Amino acid sequence: MTLFPAVQEVLPHDGSAVLHESFLGAGEAEDAFGWLSEHLPWESHELVVHGQKRREPRLSTWHADDGLSYTYSGLRRTALPFVPVLDDLRRRCAAAAGSPFNSVLVNLYRDGSDGVGWHADDEAANGREPVIASLSLGATRRFDLRHRHDGTRVSVDLAAGSLLVMSGLSQHCWLHQVAKIRRPVGPRINLTFRRVVTS
Ligand SMILES: O=C(O)CCC(=O)C(=O)O
Ligand SMILES: [Mn+2]
């Protein structure tokens, strides 16, 4: 008997965020986590938040098809190429999301003192009503969404192998975060596949 549907909409209104709980099998998710954590050239970046420089509390890499660059919280990033593991995951996430992707931001949360604060993926480069596929590997972390106007809160645990596909008004009407936590937690990798549009 299945107690919870394997694929479910988590937003009550104003956009969509569809959670595919077991998008990757446990072995596949472990293999991808192991390979990416060992082989990606993890970078530590400074962000400009409210005019102040801060070191981002997570490591990341950004990969894109030829010639794309991207501005993220005041930081201009030049793309690394897609590698076969990322390309395979991109193809599968695109099929599930029903949308093509030309880039992926890969984040490594080393422990509970890494996180990402409230924000929306609403940079112009993501286009209007972007489809963003967010694949999680490694330790489970809580992902919070908060409606910008009515304050509605939704939280989901993003476990290894889960895929969250955000679309429609989700970036206009909602903010999201991965809060820092005090309890001991292992490393987590999150991949957000996006389609960056160039003007
Ligand atoms: O780690 C996550 O689940 C979310 C990451 C995120 O929101 C981002 O990189 O824009
Ligand atoms: Mn985001």
- Ligand showing the shortest atom-to-Cα distance for residue 115: 1
Cα separation values, 167 from 4, 37, 45, 114, Å = 22, 28, 27, 26
Tens-place pLDDT, residues 133-190? 999 999 999 999 999 999 999 999 999 999 999 999 999 999 999 999 999 999 999 9
Cα separation values, 121 from 126, 132, 187, Å = 7, 8, 23
d(CA 7, CA 22): 9
Predicted TM-score (pTM) of the model is 0.94
d(CA 116, CA 120): 11
Sheet holding 174-178, edge to edge: 116-119, 174-178, 141-147, 153-158
Distance 120 CA to ligand 2 centre (A): 6
Cβ–ligand 1 distance for 105 under 6 Å, the answer yes
Tens of pLDDT, residue by residue, the chain (199 residues): 556 669 999 999 999 999 999 999 999 999 999 999 999 999 999 888 888 999 999 999 999 998 677 666 566 777 899 999 999 999 999 999 999 999 999 999 999 999 999 999 998 888 889 999 999 999 999 999 999 999 999 999 999 999 999 999 999 999 999 999 999 999 999 999 999 987 5
How many Å is the Cα radius of gyration of the chain? 16
Cβ–ligand 1 distance for 61 under 6 Å, the answer no
Q: List Cβ neighbours of 53 (8 Å cut-off, separation of 6 or more).
A: 46, 47
Give rounded-to-5 percent helix, strand, coil for the chain. Answer: 20, 40, 40
Residue minimizing CA distance to atom 2 of ligand 1: 190
Which ligand 1 atom sits nearest the alpha carbon of residue 60? 9
Please, what are the domains in the chain? 22-180+189-194 (2.60.120.590)
d(CA 16, CA 83): 29
d(CA 199, CA 197): 7
Distance 1 CA to ligand 1 centre (A): 32
Q: Taking the CB of residue 185, how many other CB atoms lie within 10 A of it?
A: 18
d(CA 38, CA 52): 32
Cβ–ligand 1 distance for 190 under 6 Å, the answer yes
Neighbours of ion ligand 2 (CB under 5 A): 121
